[in-house]
Chains A and B, each alone.
Chain A
Amino acid sequence: MSPRGDREPRGTARQVPVAALQGALAAEHAAVWVYGVAGAFMPATLARRLDEATTAHQARRDATERMLMDAGVPPVPPEPGYLSPEPVTDAASALRLVITAETDAAAAWRSVVERSPADPDVRGAALEALTAAAVRATRWRQTAGTVPLTVPFPGTP
């Protein structure tokens, strides 16, 4: 993905931050994969929350693909394989993985906010996605007993 392509295409299609949206799409693909893996290590009591998070990321992924296609850009596909930063062997490592995936998604969507034109469509969707990812990360930190539960600037390193 080229930063120079970030404002393309101009003219007929609506101006969207292509590189940032592709980054967000890649993060959503990754999150969907992460929840699939993590779910196998979580207790059944968390099944509903895992399903809701998976559904949210799938919906965001699909909506992002549509935004890119509407702009005349082929959406990035999911990676054939992913490598988690640490082996997922139990509920604790699975929780760390989903928190990381949400943190990554928040960063990707913040980038879309920063690079999109001041319109409620793309920016509003990106703000919503950033907020949802940040809230899920906080909820999973609560479940994991991790402190602090919050970060002052979700989406920043």
Chain B
Amino acid sequence: MFQARPSRRQALAAGATTAALLLAGPAAVAGCTASVPGSGGPDPLEGPARRAEADVALAAAVAGTHSTLAAAANALGADRAAHARALRAELHRVHPDPMPSSTVKPPPTVAPAVSPDQAVAQAALTQAMRAAQDEAAELAITLPGYRAALLASVAACCATHTAVLT
């Protein structure tokens, strides 16, 4: 928004430059990512990806059960779906071949149970967002640059949903 306006003041224009440079940054960093596990245990992004997918299902179930929570739950579900897509894209980039079946569980196919009590359902969403934020924040400290930034945004987004819900 600021970036598109030529009348921006100098410091904000400098911010725009940084943002433009960043566009080139992720590819460069990802290209030299050496610490992504290529073998052994599951990729550390597998957990956040599965959690995002589970949150999409939970949000849909809550929205379908409690109309007063539908706006917040649908917005949450949309953001978590975007997280799942981005995380799966990064997983696919590093592991173009399917991972061994022993390390990948199929996603849940049963709709999550939602409490008929609206307050309880709302608390379940909040709890899911806090857990997702914690998981992403922890990985954001240790993973290589591009992945760290991706998870940092995921963590920050989950914090904004907690703020909306509480």
Contact = CB atoms under 8 A, between A and B. Distances in A.
A103 interface: yes
B140 A103 contact: no
Contacts of B9: 30, 79, 81-84
Contacts of A39: none
A110 B152 contact: yes
A43 interface: no
B140 to A, nearest CB: 5
Interface string A135-150: 1011100100000111
A30 B5 CA distance: 16
B162 to A, nearest CB: 8
Given A118-B142, A127-B140, A135-B163, A153 B19 contact: no
Interface residues of A, number: 53
Interface in A77-114: 78-79, 81-85, 100, 103-104, 106-108, 110-111, 113-114
Nearest to A76: B11
Secondary structure class of chain A's binding surface, majority of residues: helix
Interface residues of B, number: 50
Contact of B15 (A23, A135, A142, A150): A23
A47 interface: no
Contact of A135 (B11, B75, B140, B159): B159
Given A114-B29, A118-B143, A131-B155, 5 more contacts: A26-B14, A100-B2, A110-B153, A118-B142, A149-B75
Interface of A: 1, 3, 19-20, 23, 26-27, 29-30, 78-79, 81-85, 100, 103-104, 106-108, 110-111, 113-115, 118-120, 123-124, 126-127, 130-131, 133-135, 137-139, 142, 148-157
9 tightest A-B CB contacts, nearest first: A114-B149, A152-B82, A153-B153, A83-B9, A134-B156, A138-B160, A154-B156, A152-B79, A82-B9
